[in-house]
Structure 1
Amino acid sequence: MVVKQVKHWLVTRANAARWRPIQDWAESRGAEFTQTEDGQGFLIESREALPGALRVEWGESQRSYLPGFELRMRCEMGLHPDLQLMVVCRTLMEELERAVFEAYTDTLKTRVDTDTPEEMRWLVMFPKFNPSSSQILRQRYGIVGITKELAAAWVESELGEALVQASQDLLPEGHPFVLMSMRGNLYLRTEMSEAELPKVQALVRLLETAAREAQRVNSRLSESGAWPTTTSIAWTHTTRPGDA
Structure 2
Amino acid sequence: MADWAESRGAQFRQSRDARGFQIEQAKAAPGGALRIEWAPSQRSYIEGNELRMRCELGLHPDLQMMVLARSLMERLEKAVFEAYTDTLKTRVDTDTPEEMRWLVMFAKLKNYPHKLVKERFGAVAINQEVVSAWLENSLSDLLIQASQDLLPEERPFVLMVLRGNVYLRVAMEEPTLTEIQGLVKLLETACREAQRVNARLADGGPWPTTTSVAWQSQPPLGELPGR
Deviations 1:166-207 (Å, cap 9, x if unpaired)? Answer: 000000112110000001000000000110000000000000
Partner of 2:93: 113
Checking the alignment, whether the CA contact within 8 Å between 2:112 and 2:132 is kept in structure 1 is no
Q: Runs of at least 4 residues of structure 1 off by over 3 A?
A: none
What is the CA-CA distance between 1:113 and the residue it aligns to? 3.4
Partner of 2:224: none
Q: Larger helix proportion, structure 1 or 2?
A: 1
The aligned runs of 1:37-116 (5 Å cut-off) are 37-51=16-30, 52-116=32-96
Give, in whole Å, the separation in 1 of the partners of 2:114 and 2:17.
44
The amino acid across from 2:8 in the alignment is: R
Partner of 1:36: 15
From 193, 209, 212, give the equivalent of 1:230.
212
Partner of 1:163: 143
What is the CA-CA distance between 1:106 and the residue it aligns to? 1.4
Give, in whole Å, the separation in 2 of the partners of 1:215 and 1:109.
38
Partner of 1:176: 156
Partner of 1:27: 6
Checking the alignment, whether the CA contact within 8 Å between 1:83 and 1:218 is kept in structure 2 is yes
Q: Percent identity?
A: 63
Structure 1 length-normalised TM = 0.84
Give, in whole Å, the separation in 2 of the partners of 1:95 and 1:102.
11
Deviations 1:24-75 (Å, cap 9, x if unpaired)? Answer: 0001100000000101100000012121110000010000000100000000
Secondary structure of the 2:5 match is helix
Give, in whole Å, the separation in 2 of the partners of 1:171 and 1:124.
25
Which segments of 5 or more consecutive residues in structure 2 lack a partner in the other structure? 215-227
Give, in whole Å, the separation in 2 of the partners of 1:228 and 1:81.
9
The alignment covers a number of residue pairs equal to 211
Structure 2 length-normalised TM = 0.90
RMSD, aligned CA: 1.4
Larger Rg: 1
Checking the alignment, whether the CA contact within 8 Å between 1:61 and 1:67 is kept in structure 2 is yes
1:208 matches 2:192: no
Give, in whole Å, the separation in 2 of the partners of 1:57 and 1:95.
25
Q: 1:105 to 1:160 in 2, by over 3 A?
A: same
Checking the alignment, whether the CA contact within 8 Å between 1:76 and 1:185 is kept in structure 2 is yes
What is the CA-CA distance between 1:146 and the residue it aligns to? 0.4
Give, in whole Å, the separation in 1 of the partners of 2:33 and 2:74.
32
Deviations 1:103-151 (Å, cap 9, x if unpaired)? Answer: 2211443333321100000000001003343110001001000000001
